[in-house]
Amino acid sequence: MTAVQKATDQRIRAVWAAAPGPVTTALGAPAFFWEHPQAGLRAAAFGEAARREGMSLRSLFADLEEAVAWPLGAPEPPGPWFGSLAFDQTRSMGLDWAGFESARFILPALLCWSRGGRHFAAAFGDDCEPRLQSALIDLGKAHSDPKRESMSAHVVAQPGERERWSALVTRALAAIDRGELDKVVLARAISVKSDQAIDTGALLEALAARNPTCRTFLIRGDAGAVFLGSTPETLCRIEGSLLRTEALAGSAQPGDGEALLGRQKELREHRWVVDHIVSGLAGIAGALQRRPEPEIRELANVAHLVTPISARLTPGRSVADVVAALHPTPAVAGVPTAAALRFLKLHEPLDRGLYAGLVGFIGPGRAELSVALRSALVRGASAQLFVGAGIVRGSAPETEWAETALKSRALLDALGVAP
């Protein structure tokens, strides 16, 4: 174990040490969890040394990007600020989202992370050194892997749900025919009931194992609920001036990904997202690079069209500018964005809250934010799963319902819900 190193300023104290093993249940339930198996990154944040919320987004991001005093030569942690932003900052979160905020990031009291097979721990805030030493002792204790009971759950049917969906899609198609919209992304919630309190740790493990290319995440609210999921879509990754993003739109059954390259509806939707990103970055970045044609990303339950995009932020630009330029994308809102948001506010009978918002981590000169898709709000033995579909001219209610059902399978399978 390496010696603890320490750095201090008047605002933040931080210490770190090499941890003897991966994050375990010995440390209790995390306030925030993040795993990207393909990148070899896992992070769990426990407690809070500081919290930022109730600020304008520009002030919030400026605060989060301030350097935290960090020991010279110590391995850089992800973050160290972890949190989320709601889909629409102008809308109320709704009663279902009690305990969450439309914009909240925390600096953890204790952070454990693994990168490339090496394990680390860090503590922040007052009395951080004894807290870190105590955590290292807990991590070093012999323990057995927790016994995971197999979950069994079922979908709770909502009377009239299919009829309401059909009416909503029909209303959206009418708005498209009137020229008010080119596309709008409609979402619905699927209610699930388990035979016992849902084991969120087991659920995260199952999601990460099934979706190694996705970012599996968990955010714990103040009122006992958790928001979690495994998302395939990255809004941005920033390292210094280098920005990486991607357009992800267009869906098919697993194994049918290549067919997407010949489907005009999906290609048109995908182009809208690409154009949105390219246009949004035009005023804040240069040296933009992207593939001329989309690739196929095959996930366990669905295939998508994806176009990776990279650029260099112009001097003085930051993650706040990127979020303002790109969020929400046409993949989760619609085209034109403002008209789609107005339509959703008027007609979608769902409090999206953090669904289709942003989740991830931010630090000085770096950030990784993903779009919170394939996600669920979990309270005790109940869960609300959120799924959506893009409505364009030629869409049909039954086809789009089937697409949302396809997208729901990742979470339903992990919860033990039979097809």
Q: Would you name the residues annotated as active-site residues?
A: 183, 233
Is the distance from CB of 338 to CB of 348 less than 8 angstroms? no
User: Side-chain half-sphere of 359: how many Cα atoms within 13 Å?
Assistant: 29
Distance (Å, whole) CA 74 – CA 76? 6
Tokens 């809208």 sit at which residue? 272
- Report which of 410, 403, 376, 398 is spatially closest to residue 388, judged by C-alpha positions: 403
Q: Which two tokens stand for residue 397?
A: 């209610």
Strand 32-36 and strand 153-155: the pairing is unpaired
| Cis peptide, bond prior to residue 22, ω within 30 of zero | no
| Cis peptide, bond prior to residue 336, ω within 30 of zero | yes
Is the distance from CB of 290 to CB of 276 less than 8 angstroms? no
Give phi and psi for 322, each to the nearest 5. -65, -45
Distance (Å, whole) CA 380 – CA 200? 10
Bridge partners of 5, per DSSP, are 16
Per-residue exposure over 110-136, b if at least 16 CB sit within 10 Å of its own CB, e if not: bbbbbbeeebbbbbbbeebeebbeebb
Q: For residue 193, what is the enclosing H or E element?
A: strand 183-194
Bridge partners of 34, per DSSP, are 43, 217
Contacts of 245 (CB under 8 A, 6+ apart): 234, 235, 236, 237, 277, 281, 308, 309, 310, 311, 322, 326
Name residue 363's amino acid: G
Provide the 8-state DSSP code for 264. H
